[in-house]
Amino acid sequence: MNDISGRYARLSDAFAATVAAVPDGRWSAPSPCEGWTARDVVRHVVDTQGMFLRLVGRDLGDIPSVDADPAAAWDAARAVVRADLDDPELADAGYDGYFGPTTFARSVDRFLSFDLVVHRWDLARAAGLDDRLDPEDVRWAHGNTAAFGDSMRGNGVCGPELAPPEGADAQTRFLAFVGRRAW
């Protein structure tokens, strides 16, 4: 398994575990993403998988509805992406992206895997679950933010950078950088 496929598998499994742990009564709870509920966070992550597949002429196919079963919808969406990452021809499918020519695999790593780190925290926070992230994932995701440049602060991406409290840990500093108040 290559690094990109392995990272996506691990992060999508962690996101799946968080989705599965959301108590039934918390799906309508507000998330740290203004105007989004816990269910909306999952819907966004599922929809984004489909958006990146469409960039290379593919789609998610017929998957369960996030409204009916968020866990089943996520499991179906990530299965499609994982299968495509594990097929070298599909993973290397190229397209002209926002940042120039790229491949499906590179986009998954740059955007979808990044989203899985941030939105796992958003979902856990909305659901009242343990929101600690793997320190290596935090380090990796924070390191990747430089590649986004100014577009990271665009409408619907990340909020304005916040000033973390003095002595904040790496996770809190990263989340503040992407506009989340984790303290």
Closest CA to 42 of 16, 10, 5: 16
Q: CA separation (Å) from 130 to 25, 48, 94?
A: 17, 24, 38
Asked if the model's pLDDT at residue 156 lies above 70, the reply is no
Mean predicted confidence (pLDDT) in 87-102: 94
Residue 154 clears pLDDT 80, i.e. is over it? no
pLDDT grade, residue 7 (50/70/90)? very high
Q: Is residue 1 over pLDDT 50?
A: no
The whole-angstrom separation of Cα 61 and Cα 130 is 32
**Residue closest to 82 by CA, chosen among 36, 38, 49:** 49
C-alpha to C-alpha distances, 58 to 81, 84, 107, 122, nearest whole angstrom: 10, 10, 14, 28
User: What's the pLDDT score for residue 155?
Assistant: 67
Mean pLDDT value across residues 100-107: 96
Identify the DSSP state of 57: T
pTM as predicted: 0.95
